[in-house]
Amino acid sequence: MNVTVFGIGYVGLVQAAVLSEVGHHVCCVDVDAARIEKLKQGIIPIYEPGLTPLVKSNFEAGRITFTTNAEEGVNFADMQFIAVGTPPDEDGAADLKYVLAVANTIATHMQSAKVIVDKSTVPVGTADKVAASIQQALTAKNSELSFSVVSNPEFLKEGSAVADCMRPDRIVVGIRPNDNSQHIQETFKDLYAPFNRNHDRIIFMDARSAELTKYAANCMLATKVSFMNEMANIAEKVGADIEHVRQGIGSDSRIGFQFIYPGCGYGGSCFPKDVQALSKTSEVIGYQPELLHAVEAINQRQKNKLFEYINKHFKGNIKGKTFALWGLSFKPKTDDMREAPSRVLMESLWAAGAKVQAFDPEAMEETQRIYGSREDLALMGTKEAALKGADALVICTEWQNFKAPDFDLIKAELKQPVIVDGRNLFDPERVKAKGIEYYAIGRGLSVGGE
């Protein structure tokens, strides 16, 4: 099949690459000419394991193309994916201006019937808004061309997005009541047949339910994270160890071990934005989503946890000190720093007059882009280099190569033997046996909770 994808960001590029890998022909359209040119040269704008070779091989094979020409993209395929960003407005609501702009572009250039697919994360009712926008543009040019608007949300995890796309848990397809349901179902069965061979993963439903499913999934996962962070804070107060608690509740099959790891807060492009957007949608219809408000409030509070540990240990005397920071991205296997806890920590340290020596396997360039050159930030070439002369080590991201460090080296390089661990990577007793003071999330009074 021929497919066009508008918006070659994280979701759009991964989806396009995977569709081309299974034999579909994909035309990628973006307004960013520099990005399109780099993609043509094989330069991938994001770090995602497995994505670069996928894009390069399919570009060379001619199954994936890149262009800024919207008309070319519209006329390339009958199936048009909208995968542009939906950034939050000041009030937290999702901004649909880019989605509706693409819808208008498709209507302006279309010369045959189209299936328009909302791949972007959008509020409930967006498929209807997109359909109304397209119909208005078609009416304005006296066109009677037919079209359908379908909600097909993504469920990708940064760091494993290619694998998630190749082996999806489920494929949700939301169809509007007045659209040709049978034709749409057959179209999507054909499109996703390569990913649907072992058992039927496609779930057909109405468009509004599909739109809500995306938000509900991310809000549920965000809730699990905030719940565990709340339990971790209680554990510190009562002298319990949250890691033991996690094992105790995770072994219950009704709960499971996924997303119950306490830490210094979630970040990224999905959880913060989606919790806020669903909260705003609820408020607009007159419902107060108290649980969602609590999830967001707990997460925001948790991002200050590492600074609180540091401030407590140094008795408020932080000015002039230097802190080694391991991990800048909001999670491992990505260079994404959107809403990352590391940013809250660094900005708090700078405001208190401290300096940061930071290392991350992938997010150094992104850190430089966000903060530029500043005297109180040194980006170091290795995790060991970040330790030299620092007053303490702080861990923000659970990268694999941080999990088995040389504790003797850490103690030797630091001015004071202190580790503040935002991801609970180590056994407290082992760290303490090395003569290092260890602060971790929810690990009881004996390791720095009180």
Task: Report, as residue numbers or ranges, the catalytic residues.
Answer: 270
Q: Which residues pair with 27 in a beta bridge?
A: 4, 65
CA–CA gap between residue 254 and residue 1 (Å, rounded): 41
Burial class (CB in 10 A: 0-12, 13-18, 19+), 165: buried
CA–CA gap between residue 42 and residue 45 (Å, rounded): 10
DSSP H or E run through 161:
helix 161-166
| 3-state SS, residue 10 | helix
| Residues in contact with 173: Cβ distance below 8 Å, sequence separation at least 6, in sequence order | 150, 151, 152, 184, 185, 188, 202, 203, 204, 205, 210
CA–CA gap between residue 237 and residue 231 (Å, rounded): 10
CA-based nearest residue to 15, from 26, 1, 23 = 26
Compute, in degrees rounded to 10, the torsion defined by CA atoms 423, 424, 430, 431: 50
CB atoms within 10 A of CB 178: 8
CA–CA gap between residue 363 and residue 134 (Å, rounded): 39
Give the burial string for 341-370 (b: 16+ CB within 10 Å, else e). bbbbbbebbbebebbbbbbbbbbbebbeee
- Local structure of residue 445 (DSSP, 8 states): G
Q: Note the helical H segments in 239-265.
A: 242-250
